[in-house]
Amino acid sequence: MNFKKILLLNILLTYFSFSNASETLNPIVVSNSISPIDLHSSPASMEVFTAVDIEERGFTSLQELLGSISSINISSTGGLGQLTSVFTRGTESNHTKIILDGVELNPGTLGLAPIQNISINSIDKVEIIKGSSSALHGANTIGGIINISTKDNSNSISISSGSWSTNTVSFTDSYNRNGLKININANSTESKSIPAKITSSRRHSYNTENIAIGLSKELSDYEITSRLYNSRGNTQYDNYNSSVVLNQNHDDYFYTLGIKKFVNNDILEIVYKGSQNRIIQTATGATDFTDTLRDIYDFSYTSVGGNVIQKAGVIYTKEHMSELSYGSRFTVQTNNKEYYYQSELSRPSYLINYGARHIDHSQFGHFTTGNFGLSILSANDVYSFNISKSLRPADATDLYSEWSGIPTLEPEESFSYEFGVKRYVNENAFIRGTAFKTTIKNLIEADSLSQVYISDSEVTGLELRFQTILNLIEYDIGYTYMVPEDTKNNQPLTNRSKHKLNADLIYTINPSSTLRVNILAEGKKKASPYSDINLGSYYIANFNYRYNFNHSSINFSMNNIFDRPYRTSHNFNTLDRSFFATYSLNY
């Protein structure tokens, strides 16, 4: 057994001893700590969706999956492929860090990660960390982290077809022999979709092609890993004239190279990450673009003791950002150095983790962030407390756009804390509740003319979730109440609702088939920061049936069964009733 396997075995045995629940109710998470930890024991609030969950619940997109979480609000500027914003626990859409296979997707300009282009069929696991983990993950984590891992040990073909002439083909393949692992994920999606704006007179189509190739090799006490990812495609949209269709092309990629050296139970790791996030908008007589290029060098050392695991590291980031909009262009480059330390102590009756990160930013100077978490373990109960300080440096568009930029903007800074209680009624019933509060200063907002202004905000809330398996039926109910306030202007923050409920009933008809019924309900929310327009409350019902046979499965999904009208973004359409059929073959 090599050093890697010994290390992971020791870690997992330590944490599994705190829980006797099924993996369905108590999955293992790796994003919020140095070592894997089960959801029940973690000081932080987390949600986990595996590939099995995705298939069983019939999710057709990552946006739909994230929208099923009661503490996340999703806002989309139209149909498939349109810009999608994720508001975690009432924070801004650029306060949640999106990580795909270890690489941050948030650009340094517009600030929104292109989650609408990530194929749901390529995902192995999605871990949602609510609240900042700034010591391990750095800036841009005020609201939380969404860590997406793609399949690396799968051999499958998936074909899906459905509403709005939407067709998807996905392929995964893996090779594992003599310590050499190679995997590939490929996906192609096209759709005629729907008109983006409520005034649009034409449908706005969408297409994307994604490919990811991973490689790893074990050599004695070393492990070498590398990954390449590329996503290209086109989204049609309209701007001011609803009869004119404009085109937006995306071209995103990243590549990584990592080396691990196992020293007894310790790990020395060096990782390089290079990435591009590019959007090009074309119109008659004009071509606009936004571009972010990053080079990241990450050096870390992990020390594993009997009850203590520690990690220290240094990260150097070189970031190049450029943008051309309405004939105005800027180009800027930043160089950032980060030094971090995280420690985790595990005892039979409690867990403690704490850490700090010092950021030396070439634009904004020196900042220190950090977090502290505590879980008290008492039989089937866990009482947790988590406190964190984080920041988001103003992006290049906020700073240098000719039309709205303010070069003197300071980073947004946050302070948040939460108290949680988790209880096992029995091995098939899990209840949890969390009260949380986040305050943000130097909040960057925009008025009706897209002019930037500075505000402060405060978000307080309560999350509740109940999961149980009774006979052949799994019940999963989540509810969040929160008050997201712009405290400087004494008004609600936009696109965030006070109330949200998600309820799932999954019935196992027999070992080969399951039936899911879902109700999603959301209260009204402010549509605009500069007017009194509200987006109305709504509820929708969704349905999914899955049948497994001979290493294959067929999924039938119907969303918004009753075709109820609703909107998640002011003046933009939302998908109406839809039907999708998916065939998957595992070989």
**Across 354-379, average pLDDT:** 94
Q: What 3-state class would DSSP assign to 372?
A: strand
Beta-carbon contacts of 306 under 8 Å, excluding residues fewer than 6 positions away, are none
Least confident piece of the model among 84-93, 261-270, 332-341, 404-413: 404-413
Residue 429 class from Cβ within 10 Å (0-12 exposed, 13-18 middle, 19+ buried)? middle
Ordered DSSP codes for 68-130: TSTTEEEEESSSTTS-EEEEETT--TTSEEEEETTEE---SSS----GGGS-GGGEEEEEEEE
Residue 400: strand, helix, or coil: helix
Mean per-residue pLDDT, 461-483: 96
- In the prediction, which pLDDT does 402 show? 77
Rg (CA), the chain: 23
The mean pLDDT value for 519-538 works out to 90
Neighbours of 275 (CB within 10 A): 21
Q: Which long-range contacts (CB under 8 A, 24 or more apart) does 465-470 make?
A: 465/70, 465/430, 465/431, 465/432, 465/433, 466/429, 466/430, 466/431, 467/25, 467/429, 467/430, 467/431, 468/425, 468/428, 468/429, 468/430, 469/22, 469/24, 469/25, 469/428, 469/429, 470/428
Q: How far is CA 154 from CA 185, 217, 301, 558, in A?
A: 9, 18, 31, 27
Tokens 């950021």, located at residue: 359
- Given a cut of 70, whether residue 5 has pLDDT beyond it is no
Alpha carbon dihedral 397, 398, 401, 405, in 10-degree steps, equals: -170
Tokens 């959007």 belong to residue: 279
Tokens of 83: 């810009």
Q: What percent of the chain clears pLDDT 70, i.e. is strictly above it?
A: 93
176-185 pLDDT, tens digit per residue, is 998 899 999 9
pLDDT tens readout for residues 125-170? 999 999 887 788 888 899 999 999 999 999 999 999 999 999 999 9
CA 349-355-359 angle, to 5 degrees, is 170
Integer Cα distance of 65 and 85 in angstroms: 13
Average pLDDT over residues 381-393: 95
63-93: b (≥16 Cβ within 10 Å) or e: bbbbbbbbbbbbbbbbbbbbbbbbbbbbbbb
**Token pair listed for 15:** 């944490």
Length of the chain: 587
For the chain, the straight-line distance linking the first and the last C-alpha, in angstroms and rounded, comes to 29
Rounded to whole angstroms, the Cα distance separating 139 from 417 reads: 17
Sign of the CA dihedral running 103, 338, 39, 68: negative
Q: Which residue has the higher pLDDT, 531 or 42?
A: 42
- Domain 3-586 sits in CATH at 2.40.170.20
Contacts of residue 408, Cβ cutoff 8 Å, sequence gap at least 6: none
Tokens 């950002």 found at: 321
- For residue 446, name the pLDDT band (cuts at 50, 70, 90): confident
265: pLDDT strictly greater than 80: yes
- Whole-number Å distance between alpha carbons of 160 and 191: 12
**What distance in Å separates the CA atoms of residue 57 and residue 545, rounded to the nearest whole number?**
8
Bridge partner residues of 341 (DSSP): 312, 356
Per-residue model confidence (pLDDT) at position 306: 83
Residue 348: how many CB atoms within 10 A of its CB?
10
Q: H or E element: which one contains 9?
A: helix 3-16
Please give the DSSP secondary-structure letter assigned to residue 58. Answer: T
DSSP state of 409: P
Mean pLDDT of the chain: 90
Choice between 63 and 447, residue whose per-residue pLDDT is larger: 63
pLDDT over threshold 50, residue 1: no
pLDDT at 427: 85
Q: Write out the H or E segment, with its range, that includes residue 3.
A: helix 3-16
**Structure confidence at residue 519 (pLDDT):** 98
Sign of CA dihedral 288, 289, 290, 295: negative
Torsion over CA: 231, 234, 235, 239 (sign): positive
